[in-house]
Amino acid sequence: EDDLKKVRVAVTILRRARDCRSVTTPLWRVPYEGQLRYKMSLARGQIKKLARQLTKLYKPIDSDNHKSPMGGGRLCPLDNVGPSPWIYGYRNKCEFAAGIDVQTSKPMIGFTVGTVKNRVQDGVSNVGTADNGGCVRVASAKGCPHIANPAIDVADAITRMLIDMESWGLNGGVVYDKVKTKGCMRMVIVRCSMLTGEVMVLLQVFPTDLTEEHQKMIEKGLIKACRECDEKWSREFSQQSKKGNDEKTNGYPPSPKFKAVTGLVQLHASLMELPDKTTRTKIVFGPGYLYEELLGVKFRISPTAFFQVNVGAAESLFSSVRKWLFEANNPPKSKKSEKSEEKNEGEGGQRLPVVLDVCCGTGAIGLLMAKYASKVFGLELVAA
């Protein structure tokens, strides 16, 4: 309990910090075992909260009589939080903001750590708030333990592109200003599969003050940045192949040969950050999507699609769910039949009659469970 209190205090302090790692991953200073204990305490708290809410709504439910036999919570059994096989460099999707570098006061692609107008109050810099009052201040993703190197490479390449764009004479500047609703670059989305090595890059720009010539220059800049990254990744893969796999990989995802397979430019004029009906997305090169793998199933991922950001952790989670589904329809038998069960797992009469994937999104979970069911139904309210 004392350790958990220390972790909670540390999380509160780190969330108030302006360090990029502390903003994006507040637990990065805490050993992984401590992170798991902290998350377990949060899970227990949520189960108890749910029990109280249900007790108020449905009086027949008595939370005191529904304690987990495992001691992990109420209303239902609660397993321990399972560790992820990937805890470093695992994130396959990063949404970077275009803003002002907190260190150099120059345009940069990174993670948001505040707004420019706060810089004077913090005593960090005297950047003129009259010119950049609506721009965000950003910090480099380098050093963030959960960010994959390919995403950092793309952010650096687009940052160099921003520096070049300063000579284009853009009305409102190269970085989008939320207050003045002027500027150009808003966001950079990078998707990279740790298993297939495919990388997708999307630039979101504010098109109001852009000419057709400027848009073409942005597209050419995107292609150039991706080619620079491809060359870097090719060199690194060759060097890694020569060294072999002797380096320590515990906690890290695989390191395939990464390649930018598609690039897109999104023209987004709305004041809201999320795309709407007026948003236009142009495929600059490639098919406009990439492939990701999860438990042997291949998924086609679009720029805005939701997908698990840590495939290693997702595989562990969904493997447990598939195991529960199989065990639910196949009660334990004698030890003699265990081997035959493993061979026939998911076949014929051993399948569940129906599996409902509620709030299914693109249906990833349902597809992964299809082997264990005769029928799978996905239910989703939000239109694709």
The set of residues, in sequence order, having a beta carbon less than 8 Å from that of 66 and lying 6+ positions away, is 51, 74, 75, 76
As a whole number of angstroms, the distance between CA 66 and CA 75 comes to: 5
Name the burial class of residue 338, with classes exposed (0-12), middle (13-18) and buried (19+) by CB atoms within 10 angstroms of its CB: exposed
Could you give the angle at the alpha carbon of 229 between the alpha carbons of 224 and 231, nearest 5°? Answer: 95
As a whole number of angstroms, the distance between CA 254 and CA 249 comes to: 8
CA 153, chain centre distance (Å): 17
Query: What pLDDT is recorded for position 306?
Result: 84
Q: Is pLDDT above 90 for 223?
A: yes
Q: Is pLDDT above 70 for 126?
A: no
Percent of the chain with pLDDT over 90: 44
Q: Name the band, by pLDDT with cuts 50, 70 and 90, for residue 211.
A: very high
Q: Is pLDDT above 90 for 209?
A: no
As a whole number of angstroms, the distance between CA 257 and CA 285 comes to: 19
Q: Name the band, by pLDDT with cuts 50, 70 and 90, for residue 281.
A: very high
Q: Which single residue is written with the structure tokens 């329809």?
A: 329
Token pair, residue 45, equals: 């708290």
Q: Name the band, by pLDDT with cuts 50, 70 and 90, for residue 120.
A: very low
Long-range contacts of 159-166 (CB under 8 A, 24+ apart): 159/107, 159/108, 159/109, 159/110, 160/225, 161/221, 161/222, 161/224, 161/225, 162/98, 162/107, 162/108, 162/109, 163/106, 163/107, 164/221, 165/107, 165/217, 165/218, 165/221, 166/107
Output the average pLDDT for the chain. 82
Residues at the binding site for S-adenosyl-L-methionine are 308, 380
Mean pLDDT of the 179-188 span: 92
Q: Is pLDDT above 80 for 312?
A: yes
Percent of the chain with pLDDT over 70: 77
Q: Is pLDDT above 90 for 280?
A: yes
Q: Is pLDDT above 60 for 13?
A: no
Q: Name the band, by pLDDT with cuts 50, 70 and 90, for residue 2.
A: low
Torsion of CA 254, 260, 265, 271, to 10 degrees: 20
CA distance readout (Å), 228 to 84, 341, 352, 383? 32, 51, 50, 37
pTM: 0.81
Residues at the binding site are 308, 380
Q: Is pLDDT above 50 for 314?
A: yes
Strand-pairing partners, residue 300, are 291
Name the burial class of residue 225, with classes exposed (0-12), middle (13-18) and buried (19+) by CB atoms within 10 angstroms of its CB: buried
Q: pLDDT (tens digit, 9 = 90+) per residue, 326-377? A: 777 666 665 555 554 444 444 444 677 888 999 887 788 888 888 888 899 9
Q: pLDDT (tens digit, 9 = 90+) per residue, 44-94? A: 888 888 888 877 776 554 545 544 443 443 577 788 898 999 999 999 999
Q: Is pLDDT above 50 for 182?
A: yes
Q: What is the torsional sign of CA 2, 7, 8, 12?
A: positive
As a whole number of angstroms, the distance between CA 295 and CA 367 comes to: 10
